[in-house]
Amino acid sequence: MTYKVLIYSNPSLPVGLYYCKCLDLKLVPSGDSSYLWILLLTGPSYQECAGQRLNSILHLTDASASLVKKFRKTFRIQDDEFSSAIGRWGCVSVFDNTWCGTKFSNVAYVKQTALMKKASLELEEGEKNGLLEWENPPNMTV
């Protein structure tokens, strides 16, 4: 399957910062390199945008090393095991994009401030303890 095309199915969300849970990711070989397909879920505090799924693609090349580093810091990945991001929360930037007349949101991994890190950990703890309040609980399964 070509995961890269999944970003075009992303909903068009208002531009801004969102706390998202990493639901899934796959390491996908592609020619001489590989990329990560990442499935994110927006958090419960975004009213009409809560529980939206966003696909993200992150190329694992020398040119994108700084982006990979931001992804690792967003989801607190300490080693080469990208899958440890699954189930964790982090803050990402969402921006508008268009391709062949289709509007969709794209994800950028941003530097995590101390406040962002604290909020992400609180979301994880709240979810673990059943304290996250969803108006319309999303499907958390992949």
- For residue range 89-119, what is the model confidence (pLDDT) as tens digits? 999 999 998 888 888 899 999 999 999 999 9
pLDDT at 1 (0 to 100): 54
Look at residue 2 and tell me whether its pLDDT is greater than 80.
Answer: no
pLDDT, mean of residues 43-59: 89
CA distances in angstroms from 5 to 9, 36, 44, 87, listed in the order given: 8, 13, 26, 23
pTM for the whole structure: 0.90
Mean pLDDT of the chain: 89
pLDDT at 32 (0 to 100): 85
Residue 46 lies in a domain: yes
pLDDT, mean of residues 25-41: 91
Parallel, antiparallel, or unpaired for β 89-99 and 53-59?
A: unpaired
Residues ≥6 apart with Cβ < 8 Å to 127:
21, 89
Cα gap 92→116, rounded to integer Å: 10
% the chain with pLDDT above 90: 64
In terms of residue numbers, what domain contains 48? 3-128
Q: What's the number of domains the chain is made of?
A: 1
Residue 135 lies in a domain: no
Residue 142 lies in a domain: no
User: For residue 12, what is the domain's CATH number?
Assistant: 2.40.50
pLDDT, mean of residues 29-35: 87
Residues ≥6 apart with Cβ < 8 Å to 133:
44
pLDDT at 98 (0 to 100): 83
Cα gap 76→89, rounded to integer Å: 9
Residue 70 lies in a domain: yes
Confidence class for position 41, pLDDT limits 50, 70, 90 = very high
